[in-house]
């Protein structure tokens, strides 16, 4: 009987530990289930052939699943649609799509780059410079290119001078919150 008294508490610890492990596995399973559901929905969206409809569905995915592990992929695919429109010189469509995207993801620098470039093509120079400055402030993969583009536009409108360019960048920093 003495041996059973010593073994019983140890057995209780093992049972408790096993139950804790089971709960952890259930939580992991819930995360896996969410990922699987997101992935299935994402694949359905990618199957949409018409680019504008696919863009609408990608944007809806970003709205509906703001913490999805697939968020970077979805964001990339949306910006790919924008890049394709940009390559086709569809400036109005680029502006429209990017403005919609910025409402959902306001801190995505690449979106501001496309916006600035399209606005420049529409001869909306002050708005283009504001967008490029925001891209620069957000420090994304195209930030340096945005800074160079901004500088070229600014110099073109200010007789080759960059005096005052920092004010545009500071304004963008204040608006973005960086």
pLDDT in tens, 71-103: 999 999 999 999 999 999 999 999 999 999 999
User: Quick one: 92 and 111 in the same domain?
Assistant: no
Residue that terminates a domain, selected from 96, 117, 135: 96
User: Quick one: 89 and 141 in the same domain?
Assistant: no
User: Quick one: 37 and 68 in the same domain?
Assistant: yes
What mean pLDDT value characterizes the chain? 89
Whole-structure pTM value: 0.81
Residue 136 and residue 172 in contact, taking contact as beta carbons nearer than 8 Å: yes
Domain with 27, as residue range(s), is: 1-96
d(CA 80, CA 74): 10
- Residue 17's pLDDT band (cuts 50, 70, 90): low
Q: How far does CA 155 lie from the centroid of its chain?
A: 31
Residue that terminates a domain, selected from 58, 74, 96: 96
User: Quick one: 87 and 5 in the same domain?
Assistant: yes
Stretch 35-40: mean pLDDT, rounded? 93
d(CA 19, CA 90): 59
CA angle 3, 8, 9 (to 5 degrees): 115
CA angle 127, 130, 135 (to 5 degrees): 130
User: Quick one: 80 and 129 in the same domain?
Assistant: no
User: Quick one: 8 and 78 in the same domain?
Assistant: yes
**How much is the pLDDT for 70?**
96
pLDDT, tens digit, for every residue of 109-154? 999 999 999 999 999 999 999 999 999 999 999 999 999 999 999 9
Would 101 be classed as within a structural domain? Answer: no
Please count the structural domains in the chain.
Answer: 2
User: Quick one: 14 and 78 in the same domain?
Assistant: yes
């Amino acid at each position: 009987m003495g041996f059973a008294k010593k073994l019983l508490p140890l057995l209780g610890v093992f049972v408790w530990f096993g139950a804790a492990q089971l709960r952890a596995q259930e939580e992991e399973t819930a995360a896996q289930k969410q990922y699987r559901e997101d992935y299935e929905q994402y694949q359905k969206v990618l199957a949409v052939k018409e680019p504008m409809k696919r863009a609408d569905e990608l944007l809806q995915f970003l709205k509906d699943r703001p913490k999805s592990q697939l968020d970077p992929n979805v964001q990339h695919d949306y910006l790919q649609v924008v890049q394709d429109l940009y390559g086709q010189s569809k400036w109005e469509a680029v502006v429209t799509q990017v403005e919609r995207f910025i409402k959902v993801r306001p801190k995505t620098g690449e979106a501001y780059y496309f916006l600035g470039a399209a606005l420049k093509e529409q001869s909306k120079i002050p708005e283009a410079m504001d967008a490029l400055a925001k891209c620069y402030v957000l420090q994304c993969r195209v930030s340096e290119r945005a800074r160079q583009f901004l500088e070229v536009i600014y110099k073109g409108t200010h007789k080759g001078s960059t005096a005052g360019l920092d004010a545009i960048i500071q304004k963008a920093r204040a608006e973005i919150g960086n």
